[in-house]
Structure 1
Amino acid sequence: MTERVVPGRVDGLITLEAADAVWVALTAGGAVPTASGAFTCSPARARTGYVLLGSSVVATVRAAGGRWGVAEREVRRAAAELNAVVMDRRDLVLVGPFRGAPEPERDEETPLRWRRRVAGEPEEPGGPGRGARHEDGRPCHLAGIDWRQLLVKHTPDGARRTWWLPRAVVRLLDSAEHAETRWLRAARTRETGATATEPPSRPRLTGDGDGPRATSPKSPAASPRPYGKELEGQLYSVLSRKPGIARKVAGWVCAVCGGAPATVLDHCHEHGYVRAPVCQSCNTRERPDHLYADDVRVANRYTRLFHTEADNWLRHWHRCTGCRARTVLPLPHLAAWTAFIACRSLRPTHRSSRGREPCGVLRVSWTGSQNASRSCMFTVTVDFCPAGEHRVLARVPYREAAERFRGWLADTAPAVAALSGPDRLDGLPAQPRPVVVDPGGEGLGLF
């Protein structure tokens, strides 16, 4: 049965061109910029029965005369959900390139594959609004979002160019990709069973943690389940080689934020133990802004992990059997904690319009390693001081930093501290596991 396309009727169907205009008009005041060709330009899939708008899947209908339309109320609902998104443009996530990173297992049922689409685009010249002109199959938008306006390119002196997107947008695109996968699986199952000829009902979005999650009571595909301790104590070097592990990881919700589907298996490179399955956003979030072989920069984005979100992250880091037994953090994290917490009182301040603010940006470097703790030393400094100074705040021995951390942990996250220590850990190996050497050697692999 065909439907009549009636532009302008909220409870009826509107043409794809009209839907484009409605989408842009309704989202004009939102934090996330949107594209004018959400229904009519690549990679929209209106003629296959659906389109992606933000993290929503919206069904399209073939109307009388062979034209395609969409329910205006669904467009309005997706726009309202997108307008509710709060975005910090300074909270960025690296989206490429990842030199030497192994290719992840791809779900061929997910046409969006936004990371793959973005990978080849940033080198193309152009600015805001240019995307809608593409007619050669390159993405004009992603899930109705004009990602080009948000892309941040960074080219350090003598280094390879990298590009970044705000974390809120990364989560939106991850949710859109996940919702599309479930939609297509449900549609295929319905077609195989010959139970219906229409597309499955629109997934319902429910808030959980920091982000929405697509659910559908009619879909046979199970929603991602909360992570328990199924992988606790297992070595990443062994588990990562097992066939189908990426698909198994995708069956869990991120163990940190609890809102997005997991995409990677986070692990501790110092001890080799698996921590938990996490989403791409949280996997990137635990890294300091700049990380080198023996030096990290600790800016505001990363310091929230030791402040407002400390309990969640301390619990996550101590999922590593080795870190939990020693009641410590991996070396780069302990260094960052030392700079931000243990040396907080030493950091100078400067006058500003809002009172006095901490000076510059914290940086901490170290000599030696955690395997020779007597000789390991942290040096905490301040970069970008407004007065032109680059001050050395403190030099802290590794053992002293570890002892300070144990005391702070007991006050900050007593539940985590109560589970730490070799005398309270069941199943601890009789002999410590050997430290796993980072094979990548490019800094980011240290985590």
Structure 2
Amino acid sequence: MSEPVIPGRTGLISLGAADTLWAGLTAGSAVPTASAACNCPPAHARVGYVLLGGRVVETMEANDGQWSVPECEVRRAAAELNTVEMDRQDLVRIGPFRGATQQEFNEGTLLRWRQRIMWELRELGDPERAAGREGGRLAHLAGIDWRRILVERTGDRAARTWWLPRAVVRVLDAAEHTEAQWLQAARTCQASAAVTEPSFRHQQARAAGSRQTTSPDCPTVPLRPYDGELEGRLYSVLSRKPGTSRRVAGWACAVCRTAPAAVLDHCHEHGYVRAPVCHSCNTQERPDHLYSTDIRVAGHYTRLFDTHAADWLRHWHRCPGCRARTTLPLPHLAAWTAHTACRSLRPTHSAPRGRKPCGVLRVSWTGSQNTPRSCLLTVAVDFCPSGEHRVLAQVSYREAAEQFRTWLAETAPAVAAAAGPDRLDDLPTRFRPVVADTSSEGSALF
């Protein structure tokens, strides 16, 4: 493939050539991409950059008004996106959420991509119409054609919800973070230049003559790993402090350690902050509530309690209350009881390729998580083909906690060794109530 090169500017290609190059290089990517990633809104060359995947690609303007981008940066962005593996069944809800505020956004940037998607879907009133809309100003986000992978679900009372694959959510979160860091560096550099050497900069720009750019020369600030700086802090106190969200955005997610953190995960039972995490990890560990005391034991619990159990157990035990009592918050303990402790009780039925587990597991409990020791957990099977096996077991909280301690010692010995009643002295006698996160239901932290 040959791309038009800007005369006299080695390595720069026009926006049209960049669109062709991007589409060609990502044709085999698991993540669907847009054919006009650099020219179609929200990409806007005049702001100094375009977003391709999780990378910022700077734009430059020549004297003739033609905009261009570095070819090597387009290739790097495409190579990064091609490495993303996407599971179309592993979905994250992106909206709508009860109580979410309608926020304005700058048409020239990608910031708050969730609000952008919600804005378009609500404006059209029908996701199918959104998918068929031509020439729309939100045809893509960071070069990703999100409409082709958007999933709509209809729940109780015909309420619609919208979902995207987790891998795509992580890419868009990374793009949003990278853009925010780039813009902050741009403002810092511009302010510094205005104070220290405005006339020199102006003369230098005029002398260059060949091109003009608004991109900053300052490097973006790398994410710093979380090292337990918030351990033992109460969410009800920390959430009220100004600047907390800005501080959280500077950390890498404490679970996956790759994506930028976006929220503070905390324990609702004891009120302690666990760690800053990204949106993807925060939604992955959240219990699948059917009702306030009822959980459907979905497929993501296999990851939480089987394939990546040690990492998640270590994360949950960042709460001093859970660590001291060698347990989990009630909803997590209930899900563990149904998924792990009662696994042998789940019936199977004949299938074309052998036998498969019956129906869908569900666990409910009586009482409140404020007094979990009085709760009784009931494990049942929904949607049994023969209409049988409604209730598999009823387990008291005390018995479930004892089974969990035994399993924890075998599954994650290091986590179990750090727990125990000897740490109870550090816990307050009465926990402060957790302040509910009312910004949106989707960002409610559990």
- Distance in 2 (CA, whole Å) between partners of 1:122 and 1:111 is 16
- Distance in 1 (CA, whole Å) between partners of 2:74 and 2:445 is 44
Match of 1:86 in 2: 85
Match of 1:185 in 2: 184
Unpaired runs of at least 5, structure 2: 206-211
Give the structure, 1 or 2, with the largest relative contact order (CA under 8 Å, sep 6 or more). 2
Evaluate the alpha carbon distance shift between residue 16 and residue 425 of structure 1 in structure 2; reply closer, same or farther with a 3 A threshold.
same
Deviation of 1:165 after TM superposition, in Å, equals 0.9
Deviation of 1:190 after TM superposition, in Å, equals 3.0
Q: Do 1:292 and 1:443's aligned partners in 2 also have CA atoms closer than 8 Å?
A: no
Give me the identity figure in percent: 66
Where do residues 280-299 of structure 1 align in structure 2 (5 Å cutoff)?
280-299=279-298
Evaluate the alpha carbon distance shift between residue 388 and residue 434 of structure 1 in structure 2; reply closer, same or farther with a 3 A threshold.
same
- Distance in 1 (CA, whole Å) between partners of 2:175 and 2:445 is 30
Cα RMSD of the aligned pairs, angstroms, is 3.3
Report the secondary structure of 2:86's partner residue.
coil
Match of 1:62 in 2: 61
Deviations along 1:265-288, one digit per CA (max 9) or x if unpaired, are: 111111111111111111111123
Q: Do 1:293 and 1:443's aligned partners in 2 also have CA atoms closer than 8 Å?
A: no
- Distance in 1 (CA, whole Å) between partners of 2:112 and 2:72 is 27
Where do residues 381-392 of structure 1 align in structure 2 (5 Å cutoff)?
381-392=380-391
Match of 2:278 in 1: 279
- Distance in 2 (CA, whole Å) between partners of 1:439 and 1:87 is 30
Q: Do 2:99 and 2:441's aligned partners in 1 also have CA atoms closer than 8 Å?
A: no
Deviation of 1:425 after TM superposition, in Å, equals 5.5
Match of 2:309 in 1: 310
- What letter is aligned with 2:33? T
Deviations along 1:259-307, one digit per CA (max 9) or x if unpaired, are: 1111111111111111111111111111233441110001112331011
Unpaired runs of at least 5, structure 1: 203-217
Report the secondary structure of 1:32's partner residue.
coil
Report the secondary structure of 2:333's partner residue.
helix
Q: Do 2:48 and 2:214's aligned partners in 1 also have CA atoms closer than 8 Å?
A: no
Evaluate the alpha carbon distance shift between residue 370 and residue 186 of structure 1 in structure 2; reply closer, same or farther with a 3 A threshold.
closer
Q: Do 1:128 and 1:148's aligned partners in 2 also have CA atoms closer than 8 Å?
A: yes
Deviation of 1:143 after TM superposition, in Å, equals 0.2
* Of 309-318 and 62-71, the range deviating more from structure 2: 62-71
Deviation of 1:105 after TM superposition, in Å, equals 13
Deviation of 1:122 after TM superposition, in Å, equals 2.4
- Distance in 2 (CA, whole Å) between partners of 1:24 and 1:102 is 35
Q: 1:433 aligns with which of 427, 431, 434?
A: 431
- What letter is aligned with 1:184? L
- Distance in 2 (CA, whole Å) between partners of 1:88 and 1:240 is 34
Deviations along 1:197-247, one digit per CA (max 9) or x if unpaired, are: 676989xxxxxxxxxxxxxxx745532211122222221111111111111
Evaluate the alpha carbon distance shift between residue 156 and residue 407 of structure 1 in structure 2; reply closer, same or farther with a 3 A threshold.
same
- Distance in 1 (CA, whole Å) between partners of 2:239 and 2:325 is 25
* Of 93-102 and 413-422, the range deviating more from structure 2: 93-102
Evaluate the alpha carbon distance shift between residue 254 and residue 326 of structure 1 in structure 2; reply closer, same or farther with a 3 A threshold.
same
Evaluate the alpha carbon distance shift between residue 41 and residue 390 of structure 1 in structure 2; reply closer, same or farther with a 3 A threshold.
farther
- What letter is aligned with 1:322? G
* Of 347-356 and 394-403, the range deviating more from structure 2: 347-356
- What letter is aligned with 2:324? A
Match of 2:32 in 1: 33
- What letter is aligned with 1:119? M
Deviation of 1:67 after TM superposition, in Å, equals 0.8
Q: Do 1:127 and 1:148's aligned partners in 2 also have CA atoms closer than 8 Å?
A: no
* Of 386-395 and 104-113, the range deviating more from structure 2: 104-113
Count of matched residue pairs: 425
Q: Do 1:20 and 1:37's aligned partners in 2 also have CA atoms closer than 8 Å?
A: yes
Q: Tell me the TM-score normalised to structure 2 length.
A: 0.86
- Distance in 2 (CA, whole Å) between partners of 1:141 and 1:109 is 13
**Alignment of 1:345 onto 2:347:** no
Q: Tell me the TM-score normalised to structure 1 length.
A: 0.85
* Of 123-132 and 242-251, the range deviating more from structure 2: 123-132
Report the secondary structure of 1:20's partner residue.
helix
- Distance in 1 (CA, whole Å) between partners of 2:442 and 2:112 is 26
